[in-house]
A and B are shown apart, each in its own frame.
Chain A
Amino acid sequence: DQQVKQNSPSLSVQEGRISILNCDYTNSMFDYFLWYKKYPAEGPTFLISISSIKDKNEDGRFTVFLNKSAKHLSLHIVPSQPGDSAVYFCAATGTASKLTFGTGTRLQVTL
């Protein structure tokens, strides 16, 4: 039972354009959401997070949007850069402080 879903395994975006990565969740007890970025041969690194009391959080080129009624969050990267090419995982947690990860989306930013 996949409680956190990333339905797009891959995404290709041109440099300078917007990248939008999507994530859906089913567990209504989740109240904090995170995005991680992973390069090959490295561990995931934290990118940005959002609490369920907010609907948007912005950090430089990265913005995460949360739609609680739809149980959907998205990560926007503007403008996309070649160095953003990586696998992106969304993760969710509730009171247990354990993270449940999605399956990942591979983003390729082309020149």
Chain B
Amino acid sequence: DADVTQTPRNRITKTGKRIMLECSQTKGHDRMYWYRQDPGLGLRLIYYSFDVKDINKGEISDGYSVSRQAQAKFSLSLESAIPNQTALYFCATSSSRGSGSVYEQFFGPGTRLTVL
């Protein structure tokens, strides 16, 4: 069973539409992140949340919003999608506690979003 799941896995939408990407995790981690991957640019941080009441902007938050509905759920919204938001989106989690590194993040399988 996947520990970090993302829905949908693929989505094609039109310019101006509102779209939500969802992330759920069963790892019991308190920290969650949203990244986008573009060719030649690597992974860039959009938003992150260190607990349910904590939301922080990453390096490329313009045009995006997030909601942390519960410790296990973190959704990313594009209020009015534009073509340059076409990318691969990843959700990730990490734990501030436990025996492993607090810096190690666990990624979901990704959502491929195309904005026409």
Contact = CB atoms under 8 A, between A and B. Distances in A.
Interface in B28-53: 31, 35, 40-45, 48, 50
A89 interface: yes
B104 interface: yes
Interface in B76-107: 90, 92, 94, 96, 101-107
Given A98-B48, A101-B44, A45 B104 contact: no
Contacts, number: 56
Contacts of B45: 98-100
A43 B44 contact: no
B16 interface: no
A93 B103 contact: yes
Contacts of B44: 101
Interface string A1-35: 00010100100000000000000000000001010
B21 interface: no
A46 B104 contact: yes
Contacts of A100: 45
A49 B107 contact: no
Interface in A48-87: 49
B66 interface: no
A49 B105 contact: no
B98 to A, nearest CB: 14
Nearest to A9: B40
Contacts of B110: 41-43
B4 interface: yes
A42 B109 contact: yes
Contacts of A89: 42-43
Given A34-B104, A89-B43, 6 more contacts: A46-B106, A97-B94, A99-B103, A99-B105, A100-B45, A101-B35
